[in-house]
Copies of this chain bind each other. A is one copy, B any other.
Amino acid sequence: MEEMYGLIGQMKVAEGKRGEVIAAMLAGTRDMPGNIAYMIAEDIEDPNSIWITEVWQTKTDHANSLNLPSVQEAIGEARAHITGFGTRVETKPVLRG
């Protein structure tokens, strides 16, 4: 069985655009097949930074999600406001038994 896959990533956005980017991502990431968790958080210290913690049933599910129409739409809306990416860590999530 393919093992679970996770990502922890930091996204940098243009001044004043964090709320707009988060709204687009929340809207676009509902109901993604194989997604166990998609947690968005605002960085308290950096007003232009967003952190996302993702848990997927498999790495393939994550890869496939990038082609979902809702995700493509979110990326399209967010792209203009994204200024870069910081930390990005691939993980193997450990869920409670």
Contacts and interface: CB of A to CB of B under 8 A. Distances in A.
How many copies are assembled? 2
Contact of A39 (B22, B40, B55): B55
How many chain A residues sit at the interface, stated as a range, is: 20 to 34
A94 B22 contact: yes
Contacts of A92: 41-42, 44
A96 B30 contact: yes
A25 to B, nearest CB: 9
A6 B41 contact: yes
Contact of A93 (B8, B30, B40, B89): B40
Interface of A: 6, 8, 10, 22, 26, 30, 37, 39-45, 51, 53, 55, 87, 89-94, 96
